[in-house]
Chains A and B, each alone.
Chain A
């Protein structure tokens, strides 16, 4: 260790995830304004700016910002209609909000010196729990006790139905865990990898290779940011289908 330290070869890949109070001090209470708060606010402002400025001067031939806003809207609308069915369209605004927030948090986190809010489980678990609780409440509200029929797989032989029901119940309660950890894990791991590879640039011999590698990884991370937002949203739609769709299959 001491040998590495003396050559200046120091990598701190996890330092970028430290939550700091924005206005000094080191005590963090629930009301403290931190860098997480700031970057979430920036994400919300960027989304509002894109959608409001994009649709302010509506034209038959759309401007660039208008076509981006329309593209996002149409993409999510089609997804909700396709996955959850016609009844799910009522919940499109919530799905759209989730998608835009996750997408822009991921993308803004890729800016140099930025903070990725979605890399924290504390942020993603709230998003996932809201979906989980919402779907559960909605399922009971719309179907009553019939919602529990989801766990009783009627297409399976009677003998293995209790075992299947147990597995279904466990997998139902594991949903918010995998839903949230997937997003946070992908974001955290991707950013840490970029930082570790960038740390190798301190070795002068390797630096040309490292610059190319970091550029390639950055492109990959851009793809991962969009795909993870898409996956988060489509899983929300799949869970929503259990509550609102005619899940008799």
Chain B
């Protein structure tokens, strides 16, 4: 075993940051599921809301991306 304890902490921290992925998954799944539920009830209104769907997914995903950013910062910047 080489390296020091700070190096180890970096890897553990980067690994822990991937937990944020789960939150983004829940958020995106929630939006897509609710969209599908609504779209099946009123299929004629669904195509008009596609843009809103993608914007909503993008905003939910952004918070998951911040955890990726933290992992990147820990690995390469700290």
The answer on A and B forming one complex is yes
11 A-B residue pairs with Cβ-Cβ distance under 8 Å, sorted by A, are A177-B66, A177-B69, A178-B65, A178-B66, A182-B58, A230-B54, A231-B54, A231-B58, A234-B51, A234-B55, A235-B58
A79 x B62 contact (CB < 8 A): no
In the complex, what distance in Å separates the CA atom of A230 from the CA atom of B58? 11
In the complex, what distance in Å separates the CA atom of A185 from the CA atom of B61? 11
Residues of B within 8 A of A189 (CB): 68
Extra pairs beyond A227-B54, A235-B55 (10, CB < 8 Å):
A177-B66, A177-B69, A178-B62, A178-B65, A181-B68, A231-B57, A231-B58, A234-B54, A234-B58, A235-B58
A residues near B (Cβ < 8 Å) are 79, 82-83, 177-178, 181-182, 185, 189, 227, 230-231, 234-235, 238
Choice from B51, B55, B62 contacting A182 with Cβ under 8 Å: B62
In the complex, what distance in Å separates the CA atom of A178 from the CA atom of B69? 9
Number of A-B contacts (CB under 8 A): 31
Residues of A within 8 A of B57 (CB): 231
B65 x A182 contact (CB < 8 A): yes
CB 8 Å contact bits of B37-68 with A (1 = contact, 0 = none): 00000000000000100110110011001101
Kindly provide the distance from the CB of A76 to the nearest chain B CB, expressed in whole angstroms: 12
B51 x A79 contact (CB < 8 A): yes
Residues of B within 8 A of A182 (CB): 58, 61-62, 65
* Nearest opposing residue in chain B for A82, CB measure: B51
Residues of B within 8 A of A230 (CB): 54
Residues of A within 8 A of B54 (CB): 227, 230-231, 234
Kindly provide the distance from the CB of A143 to the nearest chain B CB, expressed in whole angstroms: 22
In the complex, what distance in Å separates the CA atom of A79 from the CA atom of B51? 8
In the complex, what distance in Å separates the CA atom of A181 from the CA atom of B71? 12
B55 x A238 contact (CB < 8 A): yes
In the complex, what distance in Å separates the CA atom of A227 from the CA atom of B57? 11
